[in-house]
Amino acid sequence: MTDRSREETLATDERVLGRLAGRSVVVTGGAGFIGSRLAAALARVCDVTVLDHFSTGDPDAVPDAATVVRGDVRDVDAVHEVTADADIVFHQAAMASVGRSVRSPVECHAHNASGTMTVLDAARRTDTRVVFASSAAIYGHPESVPIHESDPKTPTSPYGVAKLAGDQYVRAFADLYGLPTVVLRYFNVYGDRPGGDDVVSQFADSARGGDPLVVHGDGSQTRDFVHVDDVVRANLRAAVTDATGRAYNVGTGDPTSIRDLADLVRDAADGPVEVTSRPGREADIDRSHASVRRACDHLGFEATVDLADRIGALLGGSNSVEAPGRSN
């Protein structure tokens, strides 16, 4: 993206925020990695309520301007109460760990599928727009890349299956009840997240600690790394679009191999960092990156954050690119 294009995009983001001014919004999972940043962006112009049970979320990450409700999306009464007067619900709450979903599949389904149903049922009673955080995990092993929204869905983990169930429930509620919905299928979201279980956070933590970066297999497997600030921007666009009732991939459209990611981290580190190899993992997906044409055409969304630049910022301890309305 050119500097001029980036300036035009950021100016459009400000106009989007202007369209949201004065709205009452709910962010489920608003203390989480993505949800807290989304809540901070919205709090600039909206009346924000965060619903979170804080089992994994950070209370300190919630913006001061937000109203905090300690509750669970599996609690029907709590969800109905918090969404009763909302104009928009951003449903970010989820069990987000694939590994944890394998260990606790019933709990994963309760959070990610049943919890989504609870949010949708509450929203349909007041015809409240729902922006749902889905995942590229629903695609499983893609037959080809880039991955389009209409491609086959063959999830390989309880997390992916439950997210697909939520994704389909959202579509059903749009079709059956005319509920205004937007599904955002996140690809590999990264950001300033020490201790995170995503590969960018793991590599960054290892580099900071002087530990080797562990690459499984030959490192040729590819991912689409999209920065959390861009994910926030996609949510804001989804909140105002007229193109509801559809799903959109949220990524950069650019594949990066795990080996290349390791090289970026090693080159950005303050000191020497070793890259080591371990045997490949059978469940690993070989290739994954998004087709972003639909999001560009209908949401006007295009990722703005450069991976190499942000890796340098992460290891340098800064966070120079801010989402609209993001508070420090």
Domain assignment present for 77? yes
Answer for the pair 249, 292: CB distance below 8 angstroms, yes or no: yes
pLDDT in tens, 186-222: 999 999 998 899 999 999 999 999 999 999 999 999 9
Q: Is the pLDDT of residue 326 over 50?
A: no
Helix runs in the chain, H state only: 3-20, 33-43, 76-83, 98-103, 105-109, 115-126, 158-177, 199-209, 228-240, 258-268, 293-294, 307-316
Q: Residue 101 belongs to a domain with what CATH number? A: 3.40.50.720
Answer for the pair 160, 102: CB distance below 8 angstroms, yes or no: no
Domain assignment present for 260? no
Distances (CA, A) of 210 to 14, 144, 153, 191: 40, 37, 39, 20
Number of domains composing the chain? 1
Domain assignment present for 176? yes
Q: What percent of the chain has pLDDT over 90?
A: 89
Query: Of all helices (H) and strands (E), which one includes residue 275?
Result: strand 275-278
Q: Is the pLDDT of residue 236 over 60?
A: yes
Q: Is the pLDDT of residue 322 over 60?
A: no
Q: Looking at residues 216-229, what average pLDDT do you find?
A: 97
Give the pLDDT of residue 284: 83
Give the pLDDT of residue 325: 43
Catalytic residue set? 159
Give the pLDDT of residue 324: 55
Give dist(CA 112, CA 92) in Å, integer.
Answer: 10
Domain assignment present for 211? no
DSSP-derived secondary structure for 188-241: EEE-S-TT-SSHHHHHHHHHHHTPPEEEETTS--EE-EEEHHHHHHHHHHHHH-
Give the pLDDT of residue 10: 80
Q: Does 318 or 305 have the greater pLDDT score?
A: 305
| Claim: this prediction has a pTM higher than 0.85 | yes
Helix (H, G, I), strand (E, B) or coil at 74: coil
Q: Residue 68 forms beta bridges with which residues?
A: 50
**Which of 76-85, 116-125, 231-240, 310-319 comes out lowest in average pLDDT?**
310-319
Domain assignment present for 202? no
Give dist(CA 15, CA 11) in Å, integer.
Answer: 7
Domain assignment present for 270? no
Give the pLDDT of residue 271: 86
Q: Looking at residues 287-312, what average pLDDT do you find?
A: 97
pLDDT in tens, 127-182: 999 999 999 999 999 999 999 999 999 999 999 999 999 999 999 999 999 999 99
Domain assignment present for 145? yes
Q: Is the pLDDT of residue 320 over 50?
A: no
Domain assignment present for 165? yes
Q: Is the pLDDT of residue 323 over 70?
A: no
Q: Looking at residues 261-284, what average pLDDT do you find?
A: 91
- Mean pLDDT, the chain, rounded, equals 94
Q: Residue 80 is part of which domain span? A: 3-188+226-250+291-305
